[in-house]
Structure 1
Amino acid sequence: MNAQTKPNSTKQRPPLPLTIGAAAALVGGGAIAFWALTRQQLNVMPIGANAIPQDALMVVSVSTDTGKWQQLREFGTPRSQAAFDQSLVQFRDRFLKNRGLEYARDIQPWIGKEVTMAFLPPQAGVTVPNPGQPAAPPNAQPTVMVVPIADALKAKDTLEKSPATQGAKWTERDYKGVKVRENQESANQSTSIAVLDTTQVLVANNPNAIERAIDTVKEGKSLAQTPGYGEALTQIQEENAIARLYVNIPAAANTSAANSSRPIPPQTLAQLQQNQGLAATAKLTNEGIQFKGISWLRPDSQRKLNTENTAKTIPTRLPTDTLMMASGGNLKQFWQDYTQGSASNPIQFVNPEALRQGIRTTVGLDLEKDLLNWMQGEYSLALLPAPQGAPAALPASLVFMVQTSDRRAAEATLKKLDEVMATKYAFKVEEAKVEGQSIVNWSLPAASVNITRGWLDGNVAFLSLGAPIASAILPKPTKALAENELFRKSTQSELAPHNGNFFVDMDRVLKLQNFPLLQIPAANRTVLEAISSIGVTAAVTSDRTSRYDVFVGLKKGNNPGALP
């Protein structure tokens, strides 16, 4: 503003009392908003968050409502119900029966609504022997359990009368003003118990772990102070959750690196340190379990997430009888993210370097330069059932779709593939028409191998391996997967727009015969047979957070009796 147009300052400025009043209102409003937000975040924290060290690797909170667990036991097949009951029995015996405790007699009369268990880094449980003494046996994973006290008088009365506390050999000691009771059950198994302010009971499986919990309450950094933790929990809060989970990604990565036989490259470890945590809640519904998940980056992270959520059309391109599908918004970006974290991931679906080398040696192409460079759009990998009349040896087809960002580059690469398949592997490569649209078939009759490639809507390339399914997707499905009631129910989500889906019709997948990619071990089938469907919806909600909605549909089983 120049001198000629400068306004009269006495006319433009508000009176001083009004300025002070506005400032006070802003400060007061901000203080109220901060108090409300802080209070909301404290309310969603798991029980005992103030006693759990901030470097805990994983924290699990479970409801003590026996009605919820009874409802969960009602799902499944007879075999899966028996297996689940056995898991509950083992958990009960490990933490209660082996110590002479009975839940209904000793715990249920006074316990609060949720129990929290924290798994600490191994260093918290290391015992260094004195010089000349033999090495101590290996300790179990250091664990602290926080049990809330809903009725202090009843807790005191119940535990004092319990045969478990009367008969066991307990010793007492003082640690920083807190009375700790301990029972050395064996050379490498012990129990330490402390009561905090008549509101919480700490139970640990070694003395060092309970001391760390007490230190955390008095002066240490706790789970409740983890950056972004409270804010993340408010986004996935469930009033009636049966379980909640938190994974400390940097701490878990450090522990994995220290104990892994496979060295983790420093740059990969540094990349993982950009992450802060992963949290999830689980809630029972009439038809299964609904999970809400969130992952977030550290506040000082230099990495930022791509906030584009562009996965929206794939469910309309796949037919309604699709058995399984996984989709995303940008294949090139997905591959970059996957390769950055794969070196430290104990579960690798695909080894990046092995895939690069495999493509280079088999078809002479560079994965990144020749393929992924034009695969920057929406993509999916799906399993479609064979049409009627297809050979029994081909019960399904694996179908890959990707929206190209450069049709000309894509066509050039696909032409090279045609030449390689014909000259190097003696495939019969020929063009054909389906519903008036051009496709290219690669066939090897002697080996019953059939591959088809083509285009949908001009810019979506597809490649199918197995049964001939081109007529099911060209020019478009008669009825799309998006209209499938099971798919809609399984992937129903508040996340819109989103960045991908995963869906599996478990019943039909398990019934699929003669398909080599789905040879499932019998032990895993017991669990999977209890599931009717799985649906996942993912979205990037900010440049630092990603959200996931997961639904696991479960079959209704027999009415369960008492646990054995």
Structure 2
Amino acid sequence: MKNLLATVLTLSALTSATPALAKPDPFLPNAIAKVLLSQSSTPQISSNFTERTLKIAKQIPTDVMGVVMVDLDARSWQAIAGMSKINPLNGIAQLLSFFGGDLPFSFATDIQPWLSQELAFVFLNSDDGVNAIAIAPTSDSQKFDLFLAKLQTLDLPKPTETTYQNVKILEWELPDEEPVATEIPEEETPEGELAEAEGENEDGQPEENPEDNEDMPDMDLAFIPKKFAIAKLPNGLAVIATSRQGIEQLIDTSESKSLADNPLFLRSLKNPLWNRSVLAGYGDFKEFGKISEFIAQDIPESSPIPGFNRAEYIQGLQYTLGQYSSFDLFTWITPNGIRSQSNSYFSEVRPPQPKDTESRDRLLSYLPEKVYGVISSRNLNRQWQWFVEESKVQPSYKIFVEGLQPFFSFIIGNSVDLDIAKDIISWMDGEYALVGFPSKTSPLAQFGIDFTMGMLIRTSKPEAANLGLEKISKILAQQNLQIKKRQVGTTTLTSFEFVEDEASGKTQSVFAYGWRDRQTLLVTFGSATANEFIPTPKASFGQSAMFREIIADMPQPNFGYFYLNAKELAVMGVKFYLSEFTSSDFPEESGSELKADAENAFPPEIQSVINKLGGLVFVYSETSDRFQADFAIDIK
């Protein structure tokens, strides 16, 4: 019964056309491949998403906590080359199948015929908690009525019918389902195996298993409501809510008090990105603040973790919510892939950021071209000081501020004289970049792992840096590591090595550092991998086409980049999937759909999908009125 409810409420969730599966399916990679390899066509993107949103907003209360709009027009999703068959309605159908199992109705014949081109998810505060509501304009009122009539014939408790301001509302109360015990049929067991099967010990006595006496925990699917209600409003909107009261809130909304007249919402709606989006959202921080007590009800009143008792959690949450007025989210399709942006607007306009005259992204040109991922930013010391100050009014940050030193003391020992904030972070006042990349000279190469890491740090205080590095050297020297000097180009590295072969005295470097120039410190996982940084790579990450293309329209200036090579990560993911969920047990006729060729390459369908992937990046920035987060993934 709850499964049936979940299928109805699936209209409050949307995913892409990729099937959602309840269990691993060996055909999953091939199914994705067939979608992505479809012939591309010239997209005919609808351009009235803002107008369609505004019509629905007139039915939503102005004090809404959050609203998400999804464009169901398949043409809007077809801008990516080679992905013309993606249809958001297919995503809804897959969700219905996933959550509902064998349904007594068909999405294609019972729901899709009356569903229009947009879907809204609304979250409203109420005395009983939060009402979640799905709103969909109906393209065919008669077919919606047929669906509603069919729903009443299903194996559900009889709905309660009420009329509120001439609107008929049907509400179903759903009883808790009792867990069904599955009886395992007894099988004949050879007498010689009986003792082992029943877990007897050598004396013929049953062995005690402490887990046998433990009660199995109940699976509480808290996200499934205890009831749901459905109605059709006079303006043709179909409404599905987690309670009748949620629908009544919509009915009570007059146009003069609707979300359509909320200036904060209109600020987001007037953003040109809303009209470009296939998914757009708006939220009110003040309304989120009203449920802070509800959110914190499961947090203990006291906690050994700094900042994580109930009172401090509520204090920090309310402080944070007080700093912002509203937020929005935009996700749109481009010929190069998928872009997304979210903005959190400050309650008050802040003074402009001081102009930074330092050069940016210099270190990215020192990184090797082929990477798994890169994190870059500037002035870690200033970022740390911000955390320290914020922890005074935002207690949840105390876990970072007060927990940093104890954490390192636990790792390296309490007797070590090393203050992380003073001896290390304080001199990291310039650009820094952390990179993970493939390397045949990595210390992990001997284990068959083609991965290593490195870091570049710019500082205006090289003398202070050397003092901190000397303390680190003393710590590592106590771990039975040999300290040696290695020369890579013009850079002298201090290398920490363990003896790999006692007879020959051969050593293996596990950590090294050295000055690439007077103000640029190089830290590597093994001295041999420094060759990837010195001299400057002829083909560097910062100049690579994959990186330059994906950041082309990102905001400047920004706080740095969090970049992942989606293509390389997909390769690793598919390797894991094929190794874990495929085997020689597959039938011969499965052919290239599942099996690789003799050289252990990927099946051609999967390889073609991987070839479409590019980079993935997150970028954070700030202006006087907002904090902004941008995301992009390239799909060729």
How does the TM-score come out when normalised to structure 1? 0.70
What SS does structure 1 have at the residue aligned with 2:563? Answer: strand
- Please give the alpha-carbon distance, in whole angstroms, between the structure 2 residues aligned to 1:344 and 1:520: 41
Report if the CA contact (8 A) 2:80-2:334 is conserved: no
Alpha-carbon distance, 1:324 to partner: 0.6
Please name the residue that 1:562 is paired with. Answer: none
The runs of 5 or more residues in structure 2 that have no matched partner are 1-47, 176-225, 301-307, 501-506, 582-605
Please name the residue that 2:71 is paired with. Answer: 63
Change (3 A) 1:442 1:233: farther
Matches within 5 A, 1:35-54: 48-53=56-61
Change (3 A) 1:388 1:368: closer
Please name the residue that 1:135 is paired with. Answer: none
Instruction: Give a deviation string over 1:357-378, Cα, whole Å, max 9, x none.
Output: 1234525322322222222222
| Corresponding letter in the other structure for 1:284 | I
- Please give the alpha-carbon distance, in whole angstroms, between the structure 2 residues aligned to 1:541 and 1:279: 15
Report if the CA contact (8 A) 2:351-2:624 is conserved: yes
| Corresponding letter in the other structure for 1:48 | I
1:416 and 2:471 aligned: yes
2:275 to 239, 245, 259: 239
Matches within 5 A, 1:273-284: 273=321, 274-284=323-333
- Please give the alpha-carbon distance, in whole angstroms, between the structure 2 residues aligned to 1:522 and 1:268: 43
Please name the residue that 2:419 is paired with. Answer: 366
Alpha-carbon distance, 1:457 to partner: 3.6
Change (3 A) 1:224 1:308: farther
Change (3 A) 1:323 1:93: closer
Report if the CA contact (8 A) 2:54-2:260 is conserved: no
1:440 and 2:494 aligned: yes
Report if the CA contact (8 A) 1:442-1:451 is conserved: yes
Please name the residue that 1:115 is paired with. Answer: 119
Instruction: Give a deviation string over 1:470-492, Cα, whole Å, max 9, x none.
Output: 12112422211122222223333
1:329 to 373, 378, 388: 378
- Please give the alpha-carbon distance, in whole angstroms, between the structure 2 residues aligned to 1:381 and 1:167: 60
Report if the CA contact (8 A) 2:50-2:269 is conserved: no
Root-mean-square deviation (CA, aligned residues, Å) is: 4.4
- Please give the alpha-carbon distance, in whole angstroms, between the structure 2 residues aligned to 1:305 and 1:85: 46
- Please give the alpha-carbon distance, in whole angstroms, between the structure 2 residues aligned to 1:47 and 1:405: 56
Please name the residue that 1:357 is paired with. Answer: 406
2:529 to 462, 465, 469: 469
1:269 and 2:317 aligned: yes
Matches within 5 A, 1:368-407: 368-387=421-440, 391-393=445-447, 395-407=450-462
What SS does structure 2 have at the residue aligned with 1:400? Answer: strand
- Please give the alpha-carbon distance, in whole angstroms, between the structure 2 residues aligned to 1:377 and 1:180: 64
Please name the residue that 1:206 is paired with. Answer: 243
Please name the residue that 1:256 is paired with. Answer: 295
- Please give the alpha-carbon distance, in whole angstroms, between the structure 1 residues aligned to 2:49 and 2:352: 24
2:343 to 291, 294, 299: 294
Please name the residue that 1:460 is paired with. Answer: 520
Report if the CA contact (8 A) 1:236-1:281 is conserved: no
Matches within 5 A, 1:164-203: 164=150, 167=153, 172-175=161-164, 177=165, 179-184=167-172, 186-187=174-175, 188-196=226-234, 198=235, 200-203=237-240
Report if the CA contact (8 A) 2:273-2:330 is conserved: yes
| Corresponding letter in the other structure for 1:203 | I
Change (3 A) 1:74 1:478: closer
| Corresponding letter in the other structure for 2:404 | L
What SS does structure 2 have at the residue aligned with 1:242? Answer: strand
What SS does structure 2 have at the residue aligned with 1:142? Answer: strand
- Please give the alpha-carbon distance, in whole angstroms, between the structure 2 residues aligned to 1:41 and 1:307: 37
Change (3 A) 1:436 1:159: closer
Alpha-carbon distance, 1:319 to partner: 1.3
Change (3 A) 1:512 1:144: closer
Report if the CA contact (8 A) 2:283-2:326 is conserved: yes
Alpha-carbon distance, 1:388 to partner: 5.4
Instruction: Give a deviation string over 1:11-56, Cα, whole Å, max 9, x none.
Output: xxxxxxxxxxxxxxxxxxxxxxxxxxxxx99759566334445665
What SS does structure 1 have at the residue aligned with 2:567? Answer: helix
Instruction: Give a deviation string over 1:180-214, Cα, whole Å, max 9, x none.
Output: 42131524222232415x15333212112222333
Matches within 5 A, 1:458-497: 458-466=518-526, 468-497=528-557
Give the number of equivalent residue pairs.
Answer: 473
Report if the CA contact (8 A) 2:512-2:527 is conserved: no
- Please give the alpha-carbon distance, in whole angstroms, between the structure 2 residues aligned to 1:430 and 1:388: 18
Please name the residue that 1:506 is paired with. Answer: 566
- Please give the alpha-carbon distance, in whole angstroms, between the structure 2 residues aligned to 1:433 and 1:115: 63
- Please give the alpha-carbon distance, in whole angstroms, between the structure 2 residues aligned to 1:503 and 1:60: 27
1:142 and 2:136 aligned: no
Report if the CA contact (8 A) 1:249-1:272 is conserved: no
- Please give the alpha-carbon distance, in whole angstroms, between the structure 2 residues aligned to 1:338 and 1:420: 27
Instruction: Give a deviation string over 1:287-309, Cα, whole Å, max 9, x none.
Output: 5322223222223x8x7784667
What SS does structure 1 have at the residue aligned with 2:275? Answer: coil
Change (3 A) 1:52 1:377: farther
- Percent identical among aligned pairs is 17
1:90 and 2:76 aligned: no
- Please give the alpha-carbon distance, in whole angstroms, between the structure 2 residues aligned to 1:383 and 1:44: 45
2:613 to 516, 528, 532: 532
Alpha-carbon distance, 1:283 to partner: 1.9
Report if the CA contact (8 A) 1:305-1:540 is conserved: no
- Please give the alpha-carbon distance, in whole angstroms, between the structure 1 residues aligned to 2:577 and 2:355: 36
Report if the CA contact (8 A) 2:442-2:525 is conserved: no
Residue range with higher mean Cα deviation, 98-107 or 499-508: 98-107
Report if the CA contact (8 A) 1:306-1:540 is conserved: no
Alpha-carbon distance, 1:144 to partner: 0.9
Instruction: Give a deviation string over 1:125-157, Cα, whole Å, max 9, x none.
Output: 45xxxxxxxxxxxxxx631112235x5xxx333
What SS does structure 2 have at the residue aligned with 1:469? Answer: helix
Change (3 A) 1:97 1:282: farther
Report if the CA contact (8 A) 2:141-2:236 is conserved: no
- Please give the alpha-carbon distance, in whole angstroms, between the structure 2 residues aligned to 1:432 and 1:448: 12
| Corresponding letter in the other structure for 2:309 | P
Please name the residue that 1:430 is paired with. Answer: 484
Alpha-carbon distance, 1:542 to partner: 1.4
1:313 and 2:313 aligned: no
What SS does structure 1 have at the residue aligned with 2:483? Answer: strand
| Corresponding letter in the other structure for 1:244 | A
- Please give the alpha-carbon distance, in whole angstroms, between the structure 2 residues aligned to 1:91 and 1:248: 30
Alpha-carbon distance, 1:420 to partner: 2.5
1:158 and 2:143 aligned: yes
| Corresponding letter in the other structure for 2:420 | L
| Corresponding letter in the other structure for 1:553 | D
Report if the CA contact (8 A) 2:427-2:460 is conserved: yes
What SS does structure 2 have at the residue aligned with 1:370? Answer: helix
What SS does structure 2 have at the residue aligned with 1:419? Answer: helix
Alpha-carbon distance, 1:115 to partner: 0.9
How does the TM-score come out when normalised to structure 2? 0.63
Report if the CA contact (8 A) 2:486-2:527 is conserved: no
